[in-house]
Structure 1
Amino acid sequence: MPPVSPLLAVALAALLGWGPFSDWFGADDEAAAPPAAEAVDALAAAHASAQTIRVGGAAAALRPETRAAYAGGAALWALPAERRTLRRAIGEAAADGLRPAEVHAPTLDLLDARLAEAEAQWEALDGAARDTLADPRPALVAALDVLLTDGALRLGGALLGERADPASLYPGVWHATDRDPDGERWAGLQAAVRSGDARRVAAALGGLRPAHAGYRRLRARLDALGDDLAPVPEGTALRPGGRSVRVPHLRERLDALGWLPADSLDAWTRPDAYLLDDSLAAGLARFESAHGLASDSVLDASVTDALNADLDGLRDRLALNLERWRWLPDDFGEHYVWVNLPAFEIRAFMRDSTGGVAESLRMPANIGNAQTTGWTTPVISDSIHTLEFQPAWYVPRSLAAAQVLPMAQRDSLSLHRQGFEVYQNGQAVDSRLVPWDSVSVSSFRFVQRPGPANPLGRVKFLMHNPYAILIHDTNKRYTFDDGSGSSMSSGCVQASAPDELAEHLMTTVNGWEPGRARAAWRGGPRRGVRLERPVRTHFVYFTAWAEEGGALRLYADPYGYDAALAAALGRARPAPDDAS
């Protein structure tokens, strides 16, 4: 780094406070000229040439790309309008779940305030004083310039999902998508920064956000949970038709959490602001139902407690899930299956005639057991390519050792009774004649024929992944008797209504007549049917989800993944999930 000139030293000292200048101000009708461009350029280049920039008592590390942006030796955002535009773009980072310090927001606020003060003080000086004093403004403008650049690049990197590496956080079970594999989008942001066009940078940043409606809805929910959202006061039970000063607080909470229809009227100034009217009662009932409470629209102590859940923890939960959106592909496909593991749920979506995405199907599902090593269902994007009706079960070696061999050792006839075919070194053998207590399971392969004992049930949906993970029916239909899924499979996803999923895929993709897939599911010969086009299938992990209408749902964290991500991002442990 080149030696610091006396002028630069004075200007940088001025950055730390304004005591030396407080006695020099006077009145003059002559307007002050803008800060000298040459001084701003020199100071910006000096800042950018260092590894860090220091403002007051704090030092901020600069990205290599920031330093490269000033290779030409000139400031990028000398015009106030450009700085304001860039500040607005960087200010949106909080709605994307970033902490303000990650994009220098607190330091930028400090510099903005100091620059405004310096502008006023410099304007108040007469021309003679300005001729004899060092102008403090170039140092502030230069520091703002460099930190705006670095903040924009930090935000861009975050929007591309670089803040945490899921493969390192969750080895072997989380397979994220690189949304910029050739670096083209990152290069585009850098080019926009070097252009000095703040609007172009803002547009480039907007293009790095996931374009999915689910991301936008969750982002809107986080933005609605502002710092000034007051809790609902405690009080006696309030029923529909009742009036209370608690009602505007209730309306604000339900609106922020997405349980009310969009409404431009203010909660406090609307007609009958204190009335728990029918619309508000309906929203309250939906909230109660989602949280496992009696959906009677009564604002009692338990409902008040649920509404007043820790907002800091809730914001953290939403921030973590926005991060997960940034690990997913930008294109889910025209027609895709969506398995949200924490929700224990399968959904199917199709693009409609307007270009939007509409939900076609929804059902509970069972996922891999978190308590058994190797049985968690991985997070992965794949494709269903074939449906197999009345499938056989080719037992994975891990399950053969853990389940099949112990069963045969307890009862040598069990494999025969349950329809297993047994192969030793590639040759079929009679399972009833094998001395199971004295053999090595590694030399055997087990295939269970279709039938009521087969854990795959009546249909399986084959995919390409190397982990043998797929969606299938189950012979344990009773696990869905309560209308919900659970974490109890050995890794695959068990569908509660596989006949409906088969019917949906075969009618929409292969053009089968309605009812034909269900008939194949109910009985008939074993057969595999290849889809005419693969259907993208995404196993995802969202513990917070905003429905199409905006309603915020929180789910359990069955694999404990939230805590690891919270630690990686410097977030507190997230809020508890809904009772449902």
Structure 2
Amino acid sequence: MTTLLHPLALVALLGWGIFDSWFGPEEIAAPDARAVAEAVGLRLGNAKLHPATPDVYERPRLVWADARARAGLARLLDAAPADGVTPEEVHADAIPSLRIALAAAERKWAAHDGEARDTLADPRPARLAALDLALTDGLLRFGDALRGRRADPRRLYTHSWFPTLRDSTGAGFDALVEAIEASDARGVVDALDALRPPHDGYRRLRARLGGLQADLAPIPAGADLAPGQRSVRVPHLRDRLTAWGYLPADTLDAWARPDAYVYDDSLAAALGRFEEAQGLTADSVLDAAATEALNADLGPLRDRLVLNLERWRWLPDDLGDHFVWVNLPAFELRVMRRDSGATDLRAPYDENLRMPVNIGNAQTAGWTTPVITDSIHTVEFQPAWYVPRSLAAANVFPMAVRDSLALWRQGFEVYQNGAPVDSRLVPWDSVSVGQFRFVQRPGPANPLGRVKFLMHNPYAILIHDTNKRYTFEDGAGSSMSSGCVQAGAPDQLAEYLLTTVNGWEEGDATRSWRGGPRRGVRLERPFLSHFTYFTAWAEADGSLQVYADPYGYDARLAEALGLGRLPANPTDQPS
């Protein structure tokens, strides 16, 4: 990943006029502030900075005159990797050398007597200018990263990712700029924190990334270790299983626990899950193969967490008080709720419902389920299927060409140029699909099953039942639909929405799902739904779930962020 520290520092080294009041009457040319602003703008996503930002560079003055403020801000930028932002992006890799250069210049100047100072050039202003500019530019870059501007998902995932632009008014970034202009280090800290997503999921994933930043000692080799035994290897095992996500994060150090050396049942269960995911014999024995797998490089896992922190920054700050949450890589739907009176966006959510789902098949062009925020407005029982044009051309029309009675047998109504026709009498091998519209009546052949949940988006994407209920017999979802989300327990979702939103009596929705007449029930208020894409997820108990990447989105984002390597594509980790 490129950096503009060198041109920025070079500009700074040309001089910074305000130093006259600090170091004497030397005439020092101010840098070209507009050139600096343009360079920074190019670095921040090939777009102009917020209009207020160049003002930071317009005034030829030292922003961070206080040495303690400079030290604190340097530490702040050093901590950027905790949010998945690399040191290079915010100059944290170069700031230490600039600080050393400044300290050396101060010592050198202090060693001169008055006569020497009258004849020699003061080296301090240029060094201070370089450090000041690096700190200021680094803070602006950090703020831009925290509001989700490092990569544009609309370009990375054309027609399949529809993000909410966070800080769309620029108010959050303005607060950072104002704090910098006022040389308010405390205000900078607050402004950066306000630019982070307020969600529990972001904070939990950030905490898990923090736990991976330190280098973990490998598990030492040794004799096979079975549950119930004691060994000095056990704390190493606990640390490694925690890092891989098979144990919840624990504030208690693995070496300080009363039972630090006991290979207990919780460790054995976690190791068994790890072995199963790695394709090893899941016997919970810490043998040579399990030790080697646990000691593998954690870098790809760190990268995966970085990618998913970035995705949190593409979501709205306010997810709503009550919503459907679909995580596509997890093949899972949850209904989340928080106290409707909560004014703090950081307030936690309760999970009221969870079920597996099937999502769009990645192997067929145009069938991937989009990432989108929408709302459910109607629950329709015994629905008809209005076949989208793309599916009519790909599936329904070829079926009619092969067998002229197939549409009649499967309950399709056919309309030619808007008028109903008998599908059995149409010469399907000599007509064009564009003349026809297809509607499949409710019944066992209808792919929508017994209920659908209509949404507002223009892409014909919705949640619905399926007539292939056997796909959920193993309790898990898959990637097999033509784009919509197929719910594993649609009766429960209908029951929940209609009792919670419309005040139906318990059981009424389930009875309508089982065999009532065709009917559409408008919700008394739209029910938010978020279709998301997280391949790493930190649960409320601190455990980490890592999912396969069904649409191959991780590699594209890794390249855009300049991670330098592609995260491994793991198997699912059961809880």
Post-superposition offset of 1:109: 1.5
| Structure 2 residue aligned with 1:573 | 566
CA distance in 2, matches of 1:285, 1:462: 42
**Which runs of 5 or more structure 1 residues have no equivalent in the other structure?**
1-7, 15-33, 55-59
Shift of residue 554 of structure 1?
1.2
Deviation at 1:120, TM superposition (A): 4.2
Within 5 Å, give how 1:230-309 maps onto structure 2.
Answer: 230-261=217-248, 263-285=250-272, 287=274, 296-309=283-296
Per-residue Cα deviation, 1:192-235 (whole angstroms, up to 9, x for no partner): 21111011011111101100110111111111102422233344
- 2:502 maps to a residue whose letter is N
Correspondence for 1:202: 189
Deviates more, 1:226-235 or 1:546-555: 226-235
- The offset of 1:532, in angstroms, is 1.3
Structure 2 counterpart of 1:324: 311
Q: Secondary structure at the match of 2:439?
A: strand
Residues 180 and 310 of structure 1: CA distance in aligned 2, closer, same or farther (over 3 Å): same
Whole-Å Cα distance in 2 between the matches of residues 179 and 539 of structure 1? 17
Aligned to 1:477: 469
Aligned pairs for 1:458-469 within 5 A: 458-469=450-461
The 2-side partners of 1:53 and 1:115 are apart by 26
Aligned to 2:22: 37
Equivalent in 362, 365, 372 of residue 370 of structure 1: 362
* Secondary structure, aligned partner of 1:106: coil
CA deviation after TM superposition for structure 1 residue 309, in Å: 3.8
Describe how 1:376-387 pairs up with structure 2 within 5 A.
376-387=368-379
In 2: Cα distance, 1:49 partner to 1:446 partner: 61
Q: Is the 8 A contact 2:381 2:519 kept in 1?
A: yes
User: Which SS does the other structure have where 1:70 is aligned?
Assistant: helix
Mapped partners of 1:207, 1:570: distance in 2: 25
> Match for residue 165 of structure 1?
152
Partner of 1:393: 385
**Pairwise CA distance, 1:299:** 2.2
Quickly say closer, same or farther: Cα 1:380–1:435, change in 2 above 3 A.
Answer: same
2:56 to 51, 61, 69: 69
Q: Distance in 2 between matches of 1:13 and 1:394?
A: 68
Relative to structure 1, the CA distance from residue 264 to residue 184 in structure 2 (aligned partners, 3 Å threshold; closer, same or farther) is closer
The answer for the alignment partner of 2:66 in structure 1 is 79
Q: Deviations over 1:164-211 (max 9, x none)?
A: 111111111111111122222222221221111011011111101100
- Number of residue pairs the alignment of both structures matches: 549
Q: Contact conserved, 2:36 with 2:57, CA < 8 A, in 1?
A: no
Q: CA deviation at 1:263?
A: 3.9
For 1:136, the aligned partner's letter is: P
Q: CA RMSD in A?
A: 3.0
Structure-2 change in CA distance of 1:291 and 1:464 (3 Å): farther
Matched, 1:51 2:43: no
Q: Structure 1 residues 500, 236: CA separation in 2 closer, same or farther (over 3 Å shift)? A: farther
User: 450, 455, 474: which one pairs with 2:442?
Assistant: 450
The question of whether the paired residues in 1 share the 8 Å contact of 2:248 and 2:543 is answered with: no
Which one of the candidate residues 306, 324, 328 is aligned to 1:337?
Answer: 324
- Cα 1:117–1:474, aligned 2, differ >3 Å: closer, same or farther? same
Match of residue 423 from structure 1: 415
Counterpart code for 1:573: L
Identity of aligned residues (%): 66
Is 1:535 equivalent to 2:527 in the alignment? yes
- Matched position secondary structure for 1:565: helix
Question: How far off its partner does 1:510 sit?
Answer: 1.4
Larger mean CA deviation between 136-145 and 210-219 belongs to: 136-145
Contact kept? 1:418, 1:448, Cα under 8 Å: yes
Distance 2:160 2:29 in 1: 45
Alignment gaps of 5+ in structure 2: 1-8
Of 549, 554, 558, the residue aligned with 1:557 is: 549
Per-residue deviation, 1:383 = 0.5
Verify the 8 A CA contact 1:40 1:138 in the aligned structure 2.
no
Kept in 2: contact 1:45–1:70 (CA 8 A): no
| SS of residue matched to 2:93 | helix
Match of 1:23 in 2: none
The structural deviation recorded for 1:467 is: 0.3
Aligned to 1:24: none
Aligned to 1:504: 496
Q: 1:4-43 alignment to 2 at 5 Å?
A: 12=13, 37=22
Q: Deviations over 1:2-54 (max 9, x none)?
A: xxxxxx99x9599xxxxxxxxxxxxxxxxxxx996367998795275643999
Q: 1:361 to 1:306 in 2, by over 3 A?
A: farther
Moved more, 341-350 or 570-579: 570-579
SS of the residue 1:412 aligns to? coil
* Residues 500, 305 of structure 1: alpha-carbon distance in 2 compared, 3 angstrom cutoff: farther
Q: Which amino acid aligns with 1:103?
A: V
Decide which of 476, 485, 488 is 2:480's aligned counterpart.
488
Change (3 A) 1:326 1:292: farther
Question: Does the 8 Å CA contact 1:382/1:465 hold for their aligned counterparts?
Answer: yes
| TM-score of the aligned structures, taking structure 2 as reference length | 0.88
1:229 aligns with 2:221: no
CA contact (8 A) 1:221 1:546 kept: yes
Task: Say which of 399, 402, 426 aligns to 1:407.
Answer: 399
Distance 1:81 1:42, change over 3 A: farther
CA distance, structure 2, for counterparts of residue 303 and residue 515 of structure 1 = 49
CA contact (8 A) 1:254 1:283 kept: yes
Q: 1:47 to 1:100 in 2, by over 3 A?
A: farther
Mapped partners of 2:550, 2:336: distance in 1: 25
Which residue identity is paired with 1:443? Q
Bigger drift between 259-268 and 94-103 goes to 259-268
Name whichever of 183-192 and 483-492 sits farther off. 183-192
The DSSP-based 3-state class of the residue aligned with 2:82 is helix
Residue number among 337, 351, 360 corresponding to 1:350 in the alignment: 337
Secondary structure, counterpart of 1:456 in structure 2? coil
CA distance in 1, matches of 2:319, 2:73: 31
> Following the alignment from structure 2 to structure 1, what is the Cα–Cα distance between the partners of residues 402 and 337?
49
Q: Aligned to 1:511, what secondary structure does the other structure show?
A: coil
